Amino acid sequence: MVTAAGLAAARAVAAAVPDPELPMVTVADLGILRDVVTEGKRLVVTITPTYSGCPALREIAHDLRRRLAASGFAEVDVRTVLAPAWSSDWITAEGRRKLSAAGIAPPHAAPARSGPVPLTLTRREPVACPRCGSADTTRTAAFGATACKALFRCESCREPFEHVKAI
Amino acid sequence: MTEDEFAAYQSLSEETGDHRWAFGTGFTDPLEGIDASVPDGVDAAALTAYCLALGDDALIYSHRLQQWMTRMPELEEETALANIALDLLGQARMLLARAGQAEGRGRREDDLAFFRDEHEFRSVRLAEHTDADFAQLAGRLLVFSAWRLALFGRLAASADPVLAAIAAKGANELAYHRDYAAQWVIRLGDGTPLSHDKMAAALGVIWPLTDELFQADPVAARLPGVAADPAELRAEVDAVLDAVLGAATLDRPQGAPLARVAGKAGRDGVHTEPFGYLLAELQSVARAHPDATW
C-alpha cells in the first residue's frame, strides 16, 4: 500500500527526472509526465511522447523506474498515452524559463487545430533571441538536432540558437 | 551543470545491464499500456488491413528518405529529412503495432515490417518512388504530406480510439512536413529559370502517382466511422496544392495516371519494380539475424 505521503514523494521523484535530450528541463516541465497514481501496491506513472518517433521515451521510462526504485518504489508501471496529443503549450512557465536560460528559445502558442490545417507559407511570429532579446532573428533550418527543435540565428548579436517548435 | 544535468549524460556510459537507445535496439511496444481492444461493431480484419496500409505508407516513405542521408547538399536539409523520416517511422511503428493488435495473432511491429513479402505490402506507389533529384524529393513530399495530413485530420475523429490518437498526433507532425516541402517547391519554382524548369519537370514525374491516393478503397468502405473515404480528401488536397503551385509560378501537370496492373495498384499489393530492391535493403539485416538485439 502506498500512503498519501508516499505518493507525494513518488510524484516529486518522477517530476524531477530530466529529459534525456534537453537535460536542463524535467519531464514534468515539458508536459511529458501526465500522471502518477497508485493501484494497490503498485505505482502507475503515465507519460506521453512529444513526437511519434521520439527515441527518448524509452530512456525516460527507464530513468523513471530507476529513480523510483532508488527511492523505495519497487513496483512501478510506466504507461504511455497518446491522447490528447502532446502540444508544446504543455511546457510549463518554469520549463520555458529554464530553456531560455540555457539559450534555447521557448515555443510560441501552438496553432489552433480545428478543421483543415491552413498552409503556412510565410513566417509566423518572430522568435526572440534567448541571449540578447532581439526580435531580429532568422530561421536557418526548420529542423534541428532533435525532433522538437529548429535552428535560428540572431542578427543583432550574431549568435546561433535553438528554438523549440510550436506544435 | 547541476547534478541532474550531469547524470543525464553520465547515464549513457553507465554499465547497467539495460539496453540503451543511444547504443542498441531492444525497442519496446510503442503502444505499451494502451487499451488494445477493438471497439464493438468494428470489423477487426478490416481494421488490421487499414492500419497496415497506413503504416506501410509511412514505413516505405521513411525508408526512401533515409536513403538520402549523407547525400544532401546541406547539413540543414539532411537534418530536416532525418527528422521527417523519424516522424514517419514513429507513425509506422504505432500503426503496425495497432494492426498486430487488431489482428490478434500475436504479430508485432517488427514481424510486420521485416517478415512480410512484397505482395503483402499495401503502401501506395507514391511512397516507394525513387526521387531522382531534390526537386522530385520536394514535390513528392508536398503531395504525400498534404494528402496524409488531410487523411489524418479526418481519422482524428475515428471510432477506433487508438487510430484516432495516432492520427491526431501525426497530424501535428505532418503539418510541419507539408510547410517544409511547400516552401522548397515555391523557392525552386519561383527561383531561377533552371530551378523552375527542374521543379516543373519533377512535378510531371510525380503527378501520375497522385490519382491512386484518391481511389475507392474497399477496406475503408468496410469501416464506417473508423476510416476515411479517399475520394473525400481530393478537394482539400487540391486546394493546398493549387495554393502552393500558384505561389511557385508552376502549372498543375497534365498527364495520365500511372497504369494499374490488371486493375491493381499499391493498396492491392502490386508495386513498381524498385519496390523489391527497397524491401531487400529494409529487411536484409532483420532476416539474416531474426530477433537479434544488441
**So where are chain A's domains?**
4-80, 104-114+123-164
What is the fold of A4-80?
Answer: GMP Synthetase; Chain A, domain 3 (3.30.300)
The verdict on a CB contact (< 8 Å) between B21 and A56 is yes
The whole-number pLDDT of residue B133 equals 95
How far is A20 from chain B, CA to nearest CA, in Å? 6
- Nearest chain B residue to A122 by CA: give it: B183
Cβ-contact A105, A128 below 8 angstroms: yes
Place of cell 503498485: A42
* Better pLDDT: B272 or A118: B272
Show me where the domains of chain B are located. Answer: 40-288
A44: enclosing H helix or E strand: strand A42-47
Q: How far is B281 from chain A (nearest CA, A)?
A: 21
pLDDT of residue A74: 87
What per-residue confidence (pLDDT) applies to A6? Answer: 87
> Hey, is the C-beta of A119 within 8 angstroms of any chain B C-beta?
yes
| In chain A, residues 142-161 whose CB comes closer than 8 Å to chain B | 142-145, 147, 151
| Mean pLDDT of the region B22-38 | 70
Convert A68-92 to b/e letters by CB count within 10 Å (16 or more is b).
Answer: beeeebeebebebbbbebbbbebbe
Searching chain B, which residue's CA lies closest to the CA of residue A145?
B79
Residue with the bigger pLDDT between A5 and B266: it is B266
Q: How far away is chain B from the Cα of A17, in angstroms, using its nearest Cα?
A: 8
| CA pair distance B76, B73, nearest whole angstrom | 9
What's the mean per-residue pLDDT of chain B? Answer: 91
Q: Is pLDDT of B131 > 60? A: yes
CB contact under 8 A, A147 and B87: yes
- Exposure b/e, B35-49, CB count within 10 A at least 16 = b: eeebeeebbeebbbb
Q: Please answer yes or no on whether A80 and B93 come within 8 Å at the CB atom.
A: no
Strand, helix or coil for residue B264: strand
- Give the CATH architecture of domain B40-288: Up-down Bundle (1.20)
pLDDT at A148: 85
Confidence of residue B8 (pLDDT cuts 50, 70, 90): low
Alpha-carbon gap: B110 to the closest alpha carbon of chain A (Å) = 15
A69: which chain B residues are within 8 Å (Cβ-Cβ)? none
Taking alpha carbons only, the member of B94, B149, B99, B145 closest to residue B120 is: B99
Confidence of residue B21 (pLDDT cuts 50, 70, 90): very low
Compare all CA atoms of chain B with the CA of A24 and give the residue at the minimum distance: B5
* CB-based contact B122:B53 (threshold 8 Å): yes
CB contact under 8 A, A53 and B150: no
**What pLDDT does A58 receive?**
82
Query: Mean pLDDT over residues A70-80, rounded?
Result: 90
For B100, residues 6+ apart whose C-beta sits below 8 A from its C-beta are B106, B107, B108, B109, B111, B112
Closest residue in A to B89 (Cα–Cα):
A53
Contacting A residues, span 31-90, partner chain B, CB-CB under 8 Å: 46, 49, 51-56, 58-59, 61-63, 66, 77-87
Q: pLDDT grade, residue B294 (50/70/90)? A: low
CA distance B212 to B232: 13
pLDDT digits (tens, 9 = 90+) for B173-214: 999 999 999 999 999 999 999 999 999 999 999 999 999 999
pLDDT at A120 (0 to 100): 74
pTM: 0.90
- Which residue of chain B comes nearest to A111, CA vs CA? B172
- Confidence (pLDDT) at A41: 86
SS3 A33: strand
Confidence check: pLDDT of B76 > 60? yes
- Nearest to B204, CA basis, from B129, B280, B127, B105: B129
> Out of A87, A110, A141, whose CB is closest to B80?
A141
> B79 at the A interface (CB within 8 A)?
yes
